[in-house]
Structure 1
Amino acid sequence: MGMHNVRTGKDGYVFADLPANDDQTRAKVGFIAHVDTAEFNSENIQPQVVENYNGHSVIALDQAGKYNLDPHTFPSLTKYAGQTLITTDGSTLLGADDKAGVSEIMETLQYLIAHPEIKHGDIVVAFGPDEEIGTGADHFNTKDFGADLAYTVDGGSLGELQYETFNAAAATVHFNGTNVHPAEAKDVMVNAAQLAMDFHEALPIAERPEKTDGRDGFYMLTDMAGTPDSADLSYIIRDFDQANFESRKSFIKNLADEFNQKYGAELVEINIFDQYYNMGEVLKDDLTPVELVKTAMQKVGITPNIFPVRGGTDGSKISFLGTPTPNIFAGPENMHGRFEYVSLQTMKKAVELLIQIVQDVPTEN
């Protein structure tokens, strides 16, 4: 394509540079996308193209008609009247999270190389693994990347701009039971599976993902397994506020201590580890990257839709590693499953936006 210094480091990322073609010095801007997809069938993806969608019809995904994109179930479809949609065939996810971002960045680079009259400073791009399991940016080499500011192209619908994410932790809880024959169980048996159920029920019911929205935090049970002898629960813990985040971790740890005190033994073993933090804590001191993309959106006819993302991106960790990295839209809807789809027009708008951003990076005196 004409990119420079294409390289891969121990972190698994592929970096590449597009040198400046402008006589004036500008900050170096980076664009980042990830190539892994969610934990849903991604074998043999067969995308379907629905041209000039009318905004109200049901889209059959599979030939048997078992899976459909129905506006009554997915009202986001009504936004896309007259547009070209790319969908799944109902048997896999689409992978637009974040192959859409990869495509948009590649298209942007190709366009800039083909149009040298568009002046820009140094650009660096990164394509990485393991974002969906939250470990992709653990060893991201910001020094080698070299950007002064960057953007993950990993958001959803048109106009999304996010510079606040959850603080995130994971917890594993192991329960040691005392298993005896049920005929002799009275005052002797400690059923680890029952203990795990009681533990989960002791967490606030109103603080589960399905009960929360906006800036609400939550505890989410992600995995469970057990017998009377031994049981395990896995949780993710999320909150936007750092103090509340720490309180949540303390609450679940104290709950484990209470169970141990109640039974007079170390029946509950808990391990909590942090995954990522709210990038807003970094960006609040200098919103230059946010203001830059807001202005660029307005120039290309996009209304910015700014809200805290109830999740995280590679930008969460990269921001704390020293490169402020907000998240901008890539286009996918209904991500992580068979009902995922993306608008071709939204993807084209993302390319327009990236081209505008590199032109708007301020020159240095």
Structure 2
Amino acid sequence: MNVPPDLTLQNWQTVPHLHWAFQHLADFLPAARISRGSGPVAELRERRTALADLTLAGGATVGEVLDTTATDGWIVTRDGEVLEERYPSGMLPDTPHLLMSVSKTLIATVAGALVGQGALRPDTLITDYVPALAESGYAGATVRHVLDMRSGIAFSEEYLDPLAEVRLLEQAIGWAPRTVPDLPDTMYGFLRTLRRKGPHGGPFDYRSCETDVLAWVCEAAAGTRMPALMSELLWSRIGAQADAVIGIDREGTGMFDGGINACLRDLVRVGTLFLTDGVSLTGRQVVPASWIADTLAGGEDSRAAFAAGRDTARFPGGMYRNKCWLPYPGDDVVLCLGIHGQMIYVNRPAGVVAAKLSSWALPEENDKLMATIAAFDAVAAELR
């Protein structure tokens, strides 16, 4: 694949380059393969419908909403059947697409599998697994704190601020030009520099670094690097149709919080785990039923911690658990979200799993996000 000559570390996440870059990350950045293994592909039966023509409250159809929100691909399934699948901007069904923070859910699913094996304990201190973090702000934090983004770490997620920690992390791993000369030049080196601003276990505060720490913990607990670990515990067990890819730093450490790439249908195969007590479409137990139940129910104070967090007004009564958003006061809907419009949508009462991969111009576009959720909600209501 020929890389566009004007593509640079400075511009690849901006218009007009991101549409191409999100579908070709391994062509211009270091990456590692997450193998699907040699097992059977989980069948997704075909039963095409006219769901795209369903009219929403505002007068637009589902298809119009999804086709006009910078969508690269979208799919709706019910009980393992594909009801709609479209690629409105030239993406192909087997194209791996950057998942951004949907990657976080995949990392948490690996953590859930390790919990099921007894290799990882959520209430254990992070430093019991990764002593190298003892001098960082993560001293005293537990695995549960990072699973639910409730550590006290100082970390800005202001995507449009080039000096926010979320962007400095990209400089450290080689995803952006270096403007801070003394910044560490690896993922784990950067994580060791983070400091605490408040007590661990407080309000929910969205911090991408929490997933990077969680992945480091998983690697330490299993004694295996994440590409091989995810292949073993997740990707080879869901019946994925294609290998996934993860961006890596110069040491081979993954961009865990947002660097995984996968094709659209494989996101449905992941989302199905939230309908089936952790059992894949191939019949394999990927994560324990208790892990799915914990994700759906949350902890005793998960909703209160979410309500006390910053920028959570769009989901009143919701919560965040195990790297999943539960946007409504209940466990009916589960969301896995990534900036620039990446999503897995699960509606449990309707048996619906949907996904959308996108190239939004800006990292966060609330109108596009809420319109997509409303469209999938309407589809689920129609099918229910």
TM-score bracket for this pair, using the shorter chain length? under 0.3
| TM-score, normalised with respect to structure 2 | 0.26
Which one has a larger percent strand, Structure 1 or Structure 2?
A: 1
Larger Rg: 1
TM-score by length of 1: 0.27
Q: Which gives a bigger RCO, structure 1 or 2 (Cα 8 Å, sep 6+)?
A: 1
